[in-house]
Amino acid sequence: MNLRRYGIIYSALWKTSVAREMSFKGNFLLWIVVELLWFGLQLSFVGVIFRETTTVGTWTQWEMVLLVGASNFIQQVFQAFFLVNCTNLSELVRTGKMDFLLLLPVNTRFIVSLRQVDLGAFVNAIFGLCVMLYAASRLHLHPGTLQILGFAGLCVVGILIHYSLMFMLAAVGFWTVRAQGIVYGYYNLFNIARLPDEAFHGAFKAMFTFALPVLLVSNVPARVLADKLVSPAAWIALLALGVLWAAISEWFWRLSVSRYTSASS
């Protein structure tokens, strides 16, 4: 029953998002172009790297293209559902519009996280998928049903990790009023998600594998598809860290909201 109520609310949010996007059609299309350009940039970087070498660790050129595609796919789906809402959070706090959301008879985190949908990002997620399909055909991959399901499941975990980390970054807005660098921080952090894990060593790798699992979010799903999974430890780690970060981010959110002191008067 409760779930049904949230379903109805969410579909209403979708409708308003679609209406909003469609009232600025040109802008909607241009944002797709912007994201597409950046995706192309990442692919061209792979092209340049493999002019100089034949492998990065054990990753071959098309495996790395698969990785970049998977990374883009995960990032775009995250962006479609959550990114705008996360970046808007500090603005809600600054202007005191948070009052209104706290008063609504729904879970506040739900409404804050899912208020707007970025439809263009779905289009870009499809481009990511196309690049992955092409890379898979160049690699002569024939993933089984289990592999595809595993990939999809791990993508969901990856999106959750993106969301948990970004939501925490955004909740910093409750502590310092002007938290402009949030998106910048996010892009820098997840910038490395599309690079092969084997390019890294030592403390840096440990930090971005076990503490902030950025090097797992796209590498593990891509490895599943490309038959490169060395041991099940990788996906177990990704799953465990996903749950852990979701819990930490929920805890931090509650802590932050309790500090909220409106902005009126």
Partner 1 sequence: MRKYLHVINIGLQGNLAYRFNYLTRTLFSFIPLFAMLSLWRTVYAAGGGAQERSGYTQTQIIFYYLMVAVVDVLTAVNEDDWQIAADIREGNISQFLLKPVDYLTYRLCLFVSGRLAYVAMAAIPLALFIFCFRSNVVAPASLAAALAFPVSLVMTALLQFFISYGMAMLAFWLLEISTFIFILFAFEYLASGHMFPLDMLPPLAQHILAFTPFPYQLYFPVSIYLGRSAGPELWHGLWIQFAWVVAAYGFARLMWHRGIKKYSAFGG
Contact call for residue 180 and partner 1 (CB under 8 A) = yes
Question: What residues from 151 to 170 belong to the interface with partner 1 (CB under 8 A)?
Answer: none
Contact call for residue 195 and partner 1 (CB under 8 A) = yes
One of 191, 210, 248, 262 touching partner 1 (CB under 8 A): 191
Contact call for residue 200 and partner 1 (CB under 8 A) = yes
Looking at the Cβ atoms of 111 and 162, the one nearer to partner 1 is 162
Residue span binding partner 1 (CB under 8 A) among the ranges 179-187, 220-228, 239-247, 257-265: 179-187
β strands within 118-204, DSSP E: none
One of 188, 247, 248, 262 touching partner 1 (CB under 8 A): 188
C-alpha–C-alpha distance, residues 176 and 169, integer Å: 11
Question: What residues from 202 to 231 belong to the interface with partner 1 (CB under 8 A)?
Answer: 204
Looking at the Cβ atoms of 44 and 262, the one nearer to partner 1 is 44
One of 139, 189, 257, 263 touching partner 1 (CB under 8 A): 189
Q: Tell me how far, at minimum, the Cβ of 143 lies from partner 1, in Å.
A: 27
172: Cβ contacts below 8 Å, ≥ 6 apart: 90, 179, 182, 256
Burial class (CB within 10 angstroms; exposed 0-12, middle 13-18, buried 19+) of 88: middle
What tokens appear for 222 in the block? 């891509």
The contact pattern for partner 1, residues 28-67, with x = CB under 8 A and - = no contact, is --xx-xx--xx--x--xx--xx-xxxxxxx----------
Q: Tell me how far, at minimum, the Cβ of 78 lies from partner 1, in Å.
A: 18
Looking at the Cβ atoms of 74 and 136, the one nearer to partner 1 is 74
Q: Tell me how far, at minimum, the Cβ of 105 lies from partner 1, in Å.
A: 34
What tokens appear for 79 in the block? 């962006």
Contact call for residue 25 and partner 1 (CB under 8 A) = no
61: Cβ contacts below 8 Å, ≥ 6 apart: 46, 50, 54
Size of interface with partner 1, in residues (CB under 8 A): 37
* One-letter-per-residue 3-state SS of 76-117: HHHHHHHHHHHHHHHHHHHHCCHHHHHHCCCCHHHHHHHCCC
Closest by Cα among 81, 68, 45 to 162: 81
Contact call for residue 239 and partner 1 (CB under 8 A) = no
Helix (H, G, I), strand (E, B) or coil at 193: helix
Which residue is associated with the tokens 């909607």? 28
Distances (CA, A) of 21 to 28, 45, 78, 180: 6, 32, 18, 24
Contact residues for partner 1, defined by CB under 8 A: 24, 27, 30-31, 33-34, 37-38, 41, 44-45, 48-49, 51-57, 176, 178, 180-181, 184-185, 188-189, 191-192, 195-196, 198-201, 204
